[in-house]
Amino acid sequence: MVRRPPLLPYLLVLPTVVFVALFTAWPTLLAVYQSFFRQRLNIARFREPTFIGWGNYQELFTSPDFQQVLANTAVYVAGTVPVSVVLAFLLAVLVNRRALGIGFQRLAFFYPTILPMVSAATIWMFFLTPDYGLFNQALAFLGYRGPQNWTANPDLALFAVMMVAIWKNAGFFMIFYLAGLQSLPTDVFEAAALDGAGFWHQLWLLTLPMLRRTTLFVTTIAVIGAFQTVDHIFVLTAGGPSNASTVLLYWLWQVRFEYQNVGLAAALTVVLVAILLVFTVTNFVLSERREA
């Protein structure tokens, strides 16, 4: 008698499969298909899709705006992800102890994560306001003359956006490191302490290597989150001045909904998905090799 495979495991994963197929796989495949067509909803003669092959990709990669946006995104990711991850780890180490009021400290570090990004950006507008913002008041107290227009200066706008993202995300990543720290075996650290290893030696030689998989996970979601930056750019800079703070996803929104260029937006979506896919796969492969 041939035993039938159990149905329960397939029924349990079915909702996830349907969700991923409808909201991830299908939109991605549709974007790939639309990227080979020219369609401009705001121009009457281009409203109907017209097959142009690789035309959208050629226009995209020869566009100075795309090159600037790509450079902005690279700076944004390189500036926010390492700082957020390192700060999250240090905060987790700081609150991973028994002390009076430690719960309040954890809540204080995690609190920015609870706020919607739009609310967080609105709060930071008070810090960044040119005339009476707290940053300019601090600079004036230190003897610097002349207020800085943080969000309208091409040299400072992207930096201002990055500060908000770091403040918002560090507490969220801290939770993962805190969970990892509390799951580490205590006997290893007790043995190291008996051998004379100090706090910093234990942190560098024991804690960090044992949290490698946590770091892999946190880094992956941090990079993906950095590429999904939209909300606080709307509030703080609107991508300006002169695209100085425009990143990929914000420019994708502009191309699709402001310029109504469906084909170019689809090509940009494919490029964004490809970048994230390459990073995620490479990150996991390199991590597995180090484990081996």
pLDDT in the model for residue 2 = 58
SS (H, E, C) the chain: CCCCCCCHHHHHHHHHHHHHHHHHHHHHHHHHHHCCEECECCCHHHCCCEECCCHHHHHHHCCHHHHHHHHHHHHHHHHHHHHHHHHHHHHHHHHCCCCCCHHHHHHHHHHHHHCCHHHHHHHHHHHHCCCCCHHHHHHHHCCCCCCCCCCCCCCCHHHHHHHHHHHHHHHHHHHHHHHHHHCCCHHHHHHHHHCCCCHHHHHHHHHHHHCHHHHHHHHHHHHHHHHCCCHHHHHHCCCCCCCCCCCHHHHHHHHHHHCCEHHHHHHHHHHHHHHHHHHHHHHHHHHHHHHC
Q: For 188-203, write each residue's pLDDT tens digit.
A: 888 888 878 787 888 8
Query: pLDDT 10s per residue in the chain (292 long)?
Result: 556 777 888 888 999 999 999 988 999 999 999 999 999 988 878 788 899 999 999 999 999 999 999 999 999 999 999 999 999 999 999 998 887 778 888 888 898 898 888 888 888 888 888 777 788 888 777 777 666 788 888 888 999 999 999 999 999 999 999 999 988 888 888 888 887 878 788 888 888 888 988 998 999 999 999 998 888 898 888 888 888 999 999 999 999 888 899 999 999 999 999 998 898 888 878 777 766 5
pTM above 0.85, yes or no: yes
Q: For 18-33, write each residue's pLDDT tens digit.
A: 999 998 899 999 999 9
**CATH of region 42-291, choose from 3.50.50.60, 3.40.50.2000, 1.10.150.530, 1.10.3720.10:** 1.10.3720.10
pLDDT in the model for residue 52 = 92
What is the domain partition of the chain in residue ranges?
Answer: 42-291
pLDDT in the model for residue 250 = 92
